[in-house]
Homo-oligomer: A and B are copies of this chain.
Amino acid sequence: MPDLAERLRDAQAGDRRALARLLTDIEDGALVPSELGALIAAGRDAHLVGITGPPGSGKSTLVNALIAAWRSRGRRVGVIAVDPSSPMTGGAIMGDRIRMMDHHGDDGVFVRSMASRGALGGMAATTWLAAAALDAAGYDPVVIETVGAGQSEVEIATLAETTVVVEVPEMGDEVQAIKAGLLEIADVIVVNKGDRPGADRAARQLRAMLSTAGGRVSRPAPPVLVSIATAGDGVEPLREAIEAHRAGRTPEQVRTRAGELLRRAVATRAYERAARSADWAAAVTAVAERREDPFSAADRLLG
């Protein structure tokens, strides 16, 4: 197979198939550590934007509208759509999502769907590396879109420099609980489907909730916007809020994000090493037979 440097050079020269193959290599875990280092070094510091929210909030439509807003300003936009679907049924769903994108045929837009596949940590690492590849290939911003309703969007959000949480005006109790978890990670909040009854009231409630929340001492309350993605309403202010967030980032925020990335990388690498070690199979047996607890076995494997 061609080496990374060649694929990267081709991708940077605009060869979309080379970029697609590079992303496949990343998904397959086919890059060796020195290649990963080269990939990161080739990055141009693209703005990594996470966009998440509960199912049905219109995230994909909003991402489409944002792409148009960036394209009209000459920006090349990369998108990674992280799909909670499985390999079993993933094809059709991902196909739908790709078809949904209005920007098919525009060389300034690159969209990649990735199935999460349920791998602990692995998805986050893969997503981050895929974003680094799009960065290296000249896309900026790089958008990571996730269906946010649990742990995954919290993980993915720590990858992004700017996390946009999409809400809708009305939702059931259990979804409200999910929303509360999402607010914690939001740098920008947008109430989409703003033509529905209660949109402005929902935005006001969110602002009130955030202004009294004690959990965000280290950060200012995020702006709360209203949009109607299907009509393009509110998309320009959203783009501006996203860019303003990056422009205003502090060294402490940059450092916190680096710490999260490093934490994730340590976890991923440690598992890869342990699973390759000669003692792995015996440790699994000991845990399976309840002769050893998993944490003690892990300590032994880590040496």
Residues in B whose Cβ lies below 8 Å from that of A213? 88-89
Assuming the A-B contacts A155-B151, A287-B258, are A88 and B183 also in contact, with contact meaning beta carbons closer than 8 angstroms in the complex? yes
- Chain B residues whose CB sits within 8 angstroms of the CB of A40 once the complex forms: 290, 293-296
Q: Which of A37, A181, A292, A301 has the most CB of B within 10 A?
A: A181
Pair B93/A177 contact, Cβ less than 8 Å: yes
Give the interface SS of chain A, mostly helix, strand, loop or mixed: helix
Cα A132 to Cα B147 with chains together (Å): 31
Interface residues of A, CB < 8 Å — how many?
A: 96
Tell me the minimal C-beta distance from A303 to chain B in angstroms: 9
B121 adjacent to A41 (CB under 8 Å):
no
Q: For A287, list chain B residues within 8 Å (CB).
A: 258-259, 261-262
Q: Which of A146-193 contact B (CB under 8 A)?
A: 146-155, 158, 172-178, 180-181, 183-185
CB atoms of B147 and A116 under 8 A apart: no
Given the known A-B contacts A266-B270, A287-B262, A296-B36, are A89 and B180 also in contact in the complex, defined by CB atoms under 8 Å?
yes
| Sample of 18 more A-B contacts, CB < 8 Å, known A88-B183, A118-B185, A262-B280 | A41-B293, A55-B149, A55-B175, A85-B177, A85-B180, A88-B184, A88-B214, A89-B213, A118-B184, A125-B295, A146-B150, A147-B174, A255-B284, A259-B284, A259-B287, A267-B267, A267-B270, A270-B298
CB pair B267–A297 under 8 Å, yes or no, is no
